[in-house]
A and B are shown apart, each in its own frame.
Chain A
Amino acid sequence: MAEKLLEVRDLVVKFKTDRGLVTAVNNVSFDVFRGKTLGIVGESGSGKSVTALSIMRLIPNPPGQIAGGTISFKGKNLLDIPLDNMRSIRGNKIAMIFQEPMTSLNPVFTVGNQIEEVFKLHQSELSKADRKNKAIEMLKLVGIPSPEKRINEYPHQLSGGMRQRVMIAMSLACQPDILIADEPTTALDVTIQAQILELMKKLQDELGMGIIMITHDLGVVAETCDDVAVMYCGNIVETADVKTLFGHPQHPYTKGLIESIPSFDSTTGIKKERLPTIEGMVPSLFDLPKGCNFQDRCKSASDKCRGGNGEPILAEIASGHQVSCFHPMNY
């Protein structure tokens, strides 16, 4: 069994908004292991980014607040430690890359400057020349051609894919234990997307970090993940290893997501039309229905799901396979 790096238990995150308090993440629990990739998948607004930012303790407060739970990194609860200690973990032990490669880098500093900044912060013993050499090394590692030249360039001189590579180089500079990738390829073309995912896989093999891969695309999960947690309205509704999840999805939502994966035409490589198999819309967090959150979009919803039985609870139905549904599809 690989080393358990991160253990998230019963995480609750709330936001104070003009329309009242919303619970963006509700009782979420999962583990991240060394060398393994956990996928967190769900439609937009399901609480994936909020979960990721909570681990980094980057939830903007106000309006957000981590209202409960624990996030244990190598046995230490990150929610208890002073902010200064958290800063020495960020970018050093736990690093993050974001969905927006075009805007995530600072436009007025060179790529090299921004990578070297990480070394300056976390490896202050390095000399200026060492920092520069290591930055070049990182750019080489993420497959950026002529890194000695690129290091003096500004973000706007690079394409989206190249910028995301720079972000990856920056995040892996200190060889973190965990890399959180929040939709790292959503903003990129399909071909670039494949390259970036492949790169991350390769770097994981070399450096051995645990990855949290956040995506709304089960296709990405199938290619990169070992375990998956499916999120809906701030809750994990199903979690299992990839094989089980794709082979025996239990939650109607998971099943719907799998069926809506766009299939590739293997001869042309062109993405086929996505089939919208989950009808309806995600309910607003401000007025969630009584009972199951998924009831309005579910074909097998019964009175039990709509009634006063409360919400379905995430329960283990097979070893390592949990689902929260009153009518799981069964093996």
Chain B
Amino acid sequence: MNTWTYIARRTLYVIPVILGVCFLIFVLFNVFSPDPAMIMLGKHATAKQMAELRAELGLDKPFFIQYLDIVKASFTFDFGRSWSTKQEIFQMIKQGAIPSLTVTLPGFLLSTLISIAISLLVAFYRGKMIDKAVVFFCVAGMSISSLAYILFGQWFFAYKLGWFEISGYEEGFPYFIPYIILPVIIWVILSIGPDVRFFRTIILDEVYQDYVRTARSKGLGENHIMFKHVLKNAMVSIITYVIIQLPFLILGALLLESFFSIPGLGAMTLNAINSSDFPVIRAMTVLSAVAYIIFSILTDVLYTVVDPRVRLH
């Protein structure tokens, strides 16, 4: 099938998925959660105050209309205003996206490339000392809380040694660079453990396949076999793993952004959760669902590029 036809068809699937996501959001936020009016005004508010606020927030409308509002917001990306800052949510997302991406994109690219390189190396030396050492450090690194890395990095490298900014952000290139270095390094350190472990397993799986024996019997050297034959086969699995992370890049890094005071979407989401700012949470949930679908379509298309056995249908 033609790739564009496939993309068009898969994109149409976005509609029912968003309807479903909206329904879930609606049920979770409007039926099962405590009355937002009560949360916002506190226990001592009068019934009249509460009723006024509910009317203002549109919570007095029938359930079905409220659901339609959410659906409409999702398709128009007009999510209304934040309950706490009163800003337009669409504007907030637009403003937050860039700072988020300045941290997450370099972090993601660096960690993925470094991890693939390390994995190829340890797969090459499988079973030897270096392989065992890398696996040990991956597991050890993964068992330390991410907070520990953040706090230690800020205290030691930023505060004690003064190498980096402890926190904060400045808009615009290249002003943001000093602020993102430490968070990016921490992102890379946090990702390398799980990434290397996953990629190493994938690559080792390939190393024992029959086609590798065939390649050796042709007289090919180990480097050539690793970088041509093994890597391209491993790419099939690696691509899925990597692309599925992409939506989360847009959504920002929750902890890193709040600890480093980076005004991105991650910090915004965390604030919204803390202040029960439902419209913002709702907007971010819808956004992540849409991003997820888009990137899974992208994964499928990329599959056909890497793996000739895969056909779109």
Q: Which residues of A contact B (CB under 8 A)?
A: 56, 58, 62, 87-92, 95-96, 98, 100, 103-110, 117-118, 121-122, 154, 156, 167, 170-171
Given A58-B217, A91-B219, A103-B210, 8 new contacts (CB under 8 A):
A56-B217, A91-B218, A92-B219, A98-B213, A98-B217, A104-B211, A118-B218, A167-B214
Residues of B within 8 A of A96 (CB): 217
Given the contacts A87-B221, A109-B232, A154-B309, A104 and B210 also touching, CB distance less than 8 Å:
yes
The smallest beta-carbon distance between B213 and chain A, in angstroms, is 7
Given the contacts A108-B306, A108-B308, A154-B309, A121 and B218 also touching, CB distance less than 8 Å:
yes
B217 pairs with A90, CB closer than 8 A: yes
What residue in chain A is nearest B215 (Cβ atoms)? Answer: A106
B214 pairs with A106, CB closer than 8 A: yes
B127 within 8 A of A: yes
Q: Which residues of B contact A (CB under 8 A)?
A: 127, 209-211, 213-221, 229, 232-233, 236, 306-309
A107 pairs with B217, CB closer than 8 A: no
Residues of B within 8 A of A56 (CB): 216-217
Residues of B within 8 A of A107 (CB): 211, 233, 307-309
Given the contacts A100-B210, A154-B309, A156-B309, A106 and B229 also touching, CB distance less than 8 Å:
yes
What residue in chain A is nearest B127 (Cβ atoms)? Answer: A62
Residues of B within 8 A of A98 (CB): 210, 213-214, 217
B210 pairs with A90, CB closer than 8 A: no
Given the contacts A62-B127, A89-B219, A121-B219, A108 and B233 also touching, CB distance less than 8 Å:
yes
What residue in chain A is nearest B231 (Cβ atoms)? Answer: A108
Residues of A within 8 A of B229 (CB): 106, 109
The 4 nearest A-B residue pairs measured at CB: A91-B218, A90-B219, A91-B219, A103-B210
Residues of B within 8 A of A92 (CB): 219
What residue in chain A is nearest B220 (Cβ atoms)? Answer: A121
Given the contacts A62-B127, A103-B210, A108 and B307 also touching, CB distance less than 8 Å:
yes
Residues of B within 8 A of A106 (CB): 211, 214-215, 229, 233
- Per the bound structure, the CA–CA distance linking A109 and B309 in Å amounts to 10
What residue in chain A is nearest B216 (Cβ atoms)? Answer: A58
- Per the bound structure, the CA–CA distance linking A116 and B135 in Å amounts to 37
What residue in chain A is nearest B218 (Cβ atoms)? Answer: A91
B217 pairs with A95, CB closer than 8 A: yes
Residues of A within 8 A of B219 (CB): 87-92, 118, 121-122
Residues of A within 8 A of B214 (CB): 98, 104-106, 167
B308 pairs with A154, CB closer than 8 A: yes
The smallest beta-carbon distance between A90 and chain B, in angstroms, is 4
- Per the bound structure, the CA–CA distance linking A106 and B231 in Å amounts to 12
A-B contact pairs, 12 of them (CB 8 A): A58-B216, A87-B221, A90-B218, A90-B219, A91-B218, A91-B220, A92-B219, A100-B210, A103-B211, A107-B308, A156-B309, A167-B214
The smallest beta-carbon distance between B2 and chain A, in angstroms, is 19
A103 pairs with B209, CB closer than 8 A: yes
Residues of A within 8 A of B236 (CB): 108
What residue in chain B is nearest A110 (Cβ atoms)? Answer: B308
What residue in chain B is nearest A99 (Cβ atoms)? Answer: B210
Residues of A within 8 A of B308 (CB): 107-108, 110, 154, 156
- Per the bound structure, the CA–CA distance linking A109 and B214 in Å amounts to 13
The smallest beta-carbon distance between B53 and chain A, in angstroms, is 60
What residue in chain B is nearest A180 (Cβ atoms)? Answer: B217
The smallest beta-carbon distance between B218 and chain A, in angstroms, is 4
With a 10 A CB-CB cut-off, give which of B127, B213, B218, B308 has the most chain A CB atoms.
Answer: B218
